[in-house]
Amino acid sequence: MRRHTLWDAALRIGTRAAAITVLLLLAGVIVTLFKGSWLAFSTFGPGFLSTETWNPVKEEFGALAPIYGTIVTSIIAMAIGIPISLGIAIFLTELCPPSFKRSISTAIELLAGIPSIIYGIWGLFVLAPFLQAHVQPVVIAAFAGVPFLGAMFAGPPYGIGVFTAGIILSIMVLPYITSVTRDVFETVPPVLKESAYGLGCTTWEVVTKVVLPFTRTGVIGGVMLGLGRALGETMAVTFVIGNAHRISGSILAPGTTISASIANEFTEAETALYSSSLIALGLLLFVITFIVLAIARFMLYRLKQKAG
């Protein structure tokens, strides 16, 4: 008994130490970011968040363009990736023949294992030229003169740009969202689906009335996992977004993101203010990610309240 008591005490102390270590690491990251970005915020003030100018020669820095690019590319990635991911997960759990299920699942897991720089190279040398030659000219001509959409898809077909980065991100987040949603769909008790089919429900009705309501918490968790990947992705976006510190009304135009700006310019930051501005971008990305997670937690809390 004494031996078991010692092991229980060691387990309790070890797990508590691991939990405290995580909190200390998080606190250390936050303190480091605040300390490193203080010079930028004290120099530019709130204007750092609302200024588009990014001129290292004159040491004039503003974070608006990277913030805009980060948010827009993530929205594009989610708009494309979520429907496709849910469709794949529904197909695998409800419609796919058993002989194909393993092959498709393995292919999805392999997508998650591809390094981001490979996605970037493929996007730069394959996807961007294809979009420039065959897709963007058609889209620009189709929406020319249409209110709002005409401005959103205006300009010359660069190939690279915010839209291309969003497509790359959608491919990268697809295996994460698909894997999570597939796993949570498989947790639905078979008796619930069998009962729905027995009442004469179609597959669409079973999915929308039984599967999705039963697994909505897990689905939201998978979407948030994908969104977190999209917000913080660096190398793949750096290859195809164009790395232009400006805001354009067209999503076909080049732009930049917080991660891409830091990756491109941190080694070139020779002055303290330049380095501090880049660290401030990192702090802003941390805050954006925290806000996204907070919104996700609030949504899950509301769902639990409605479910009773």
Terminal alpha carbon distance of the chain: 43
pLDDT at position 71: 93
pLDDT at position 40: 93
What is the rounded average pLDDT of the residues 270-282? Answer: 92
pLDDT at position 112: 83
Return the structure tokens found at 64: 């608006």
Q: How far apart are CA 188 and CA 194, in angstroms?
A: 11
Q: How far apart are CA 219 and CA 82, in angstroms?
A: 10
pLDDT at position 144: 87
- DSSP labels, 270-288: -SHHHHHHHHHHHHHHHHH
- DSSP labels, 59-124: TEE--HHHHHHHHHHHHHHHHHHHHHHHHHHHIIIII--HHHHHHHHHHHHHHHHS-HHHHHHHII
What is the rounded average pLDDT of the residues 109-120? Answer: 88
pLDDT at position 307: 60
pLDDT at position 308: 55
pLDDT band for 268, please (50, 70, 90 cuts).
confident
pLDDT band for 2, please (50, 70, 90 cuts).
low
Express as a percent the part of the chain with pLDDT over 70: 97
pLDDT at position 123: 93
What are 23-75's pLDDT values in tens digits?
Answer: 999 999 999 999 999 999 999 988 899 888 898 888 899 999 999 999 999 99
- DSSP labels, 109-168: HHHHHS-HHHHHHHIIIIIHHHIIIIIHHHHHHHHTT-TTHHHHT-S---S-SHHHHHHH
Return the structure tokens found at 10: 């060691």
- Which residue would you say has higher pLDDT here, 254 or 308? 254
